[in-house]
């Protein structure tokens, strides 16, 4: 059994009470939720992806359009890590919370599909996912399973089976607009919830980082579980600065089993 500090234990119990009392809880998840599954986040010092690469040089829409080989060289190891990753205890706990009727939906910044692999059904992917790729010329959409597996194995850029042009993963790159349908859905859920639980997000990437403010402005409660502070810690009802793969299962266990 995992032992928490008295302060963390109190925060866990308070967070569980808020979830039990809530009628419309929404989770907002970021890269910190998937790091325990072996997928690197972006901003952690020393280990984050942006500790080694300049995002605008490797992961921007401009780079993809002008030098796609540079983007795919950067993306290849990440794609392999994502495809080999499995949901961790926090993903599974959130799926159980949804199944029990205590979580309305998940809004995620992650592109790894681990929520769905864990069994979550109502998931809004604000930054897209690598589930599919789209042709940059004829817009034909391709399922990623075989395509990405071949790319990771060979390093050859994926090409459209219809016209031969380069395929782009259906993820949001720097300098690219969010998919309007997903963004509208995320805003609606944020504005309608009575409790938002931020998990594994530094709340630094706009516009998604502004969603908790939309919830707060409409009277919702806020829980933040992350390994570092965010700009909204001062507004949160409960803040837990611990490993989310340990803390979230502990909260859900208390919600579901008392």
- Which active-site residues does the annotation give? 127
Cα 249 to Cα 237: distance, rounded to the nearest angstrom: 19
Distances (CA, A) of 12 to 156, 188, 193, 212: 47, 27, 20, 20
- Long-range contacts of the stretch 143-152 (C-beta < 8 A, 24+): 144/169, 148/79, 148/83, 149/83, 151/72, 151/76, 151/79, 152/76, 152/79, 152/80, 152/83
**SS3 at position 226:** coil
**Do residues 107 and 29 touch, judged by C-beta distance below 8 A?**
yes
Q: Which residues have C-beta within 8 Å of that of residue 226, sequence separation ≥ 6? A: 30, 32, 198, 199, 200, 201, 202, 240, 241, 244
Tokens encoding 238:
């409960």
Q: Which residues have C-beta within 8 Å of that of residue 206, sequence separation ≥ 6? A: none
């Amino acid at each position: 059994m995992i032992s928490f500090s008295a302060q963390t234990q109190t925060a866990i119990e308070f967070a569980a009470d808020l979830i039990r009392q809530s009628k419309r809880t929404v989770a907002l998840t970021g890269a910190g939720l998937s790091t325990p599954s072996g997928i690197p986040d972006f901003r952690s010092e020393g280990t984050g992806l942006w500790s080694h690469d300049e995002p605008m040089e490797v992961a921007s829409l401009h780079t993809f359009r002008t030098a796609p080989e540079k983007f795919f060289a950067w993306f290849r190891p990440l794609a392999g890590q994502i495809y080999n990753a499995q949901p961790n205890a926090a993903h599974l706990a959130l799926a159980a919370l949804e199944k029990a009727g205590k979580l309305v939906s998940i809004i995620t910044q992650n592109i790894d599909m681990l929520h769905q692999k864990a069994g979550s059904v109502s998931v809004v992917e604000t930054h897209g996912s690598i589930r599919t790729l789209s042709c940059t010329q004829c817009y034909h959409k391709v399922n990623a399973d075989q395509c990405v597996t071949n790319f990771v194995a060979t390093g050859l850029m994926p090409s459209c089976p219809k016209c031969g042009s380069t395929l782009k993963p259906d993820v949001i790159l720097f300098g690219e607009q969010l998919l309007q349908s997903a963004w509208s859905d995320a805003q609606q859920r944020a504005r309608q919830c009575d409790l938002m639980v931020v998990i594994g997000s530094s709340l630094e990437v706009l516009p998604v980082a502004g969603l908790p403010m939309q919830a707060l402005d409409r009277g919702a409660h806020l829980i933040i579980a992350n390994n570092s502070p965010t700009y909204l810690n001062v507004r949160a009802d409960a803040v837990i600065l611990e490993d989310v793969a340990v803390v979230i299962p502990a909260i859900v266990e208390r919600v579901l089993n008392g």
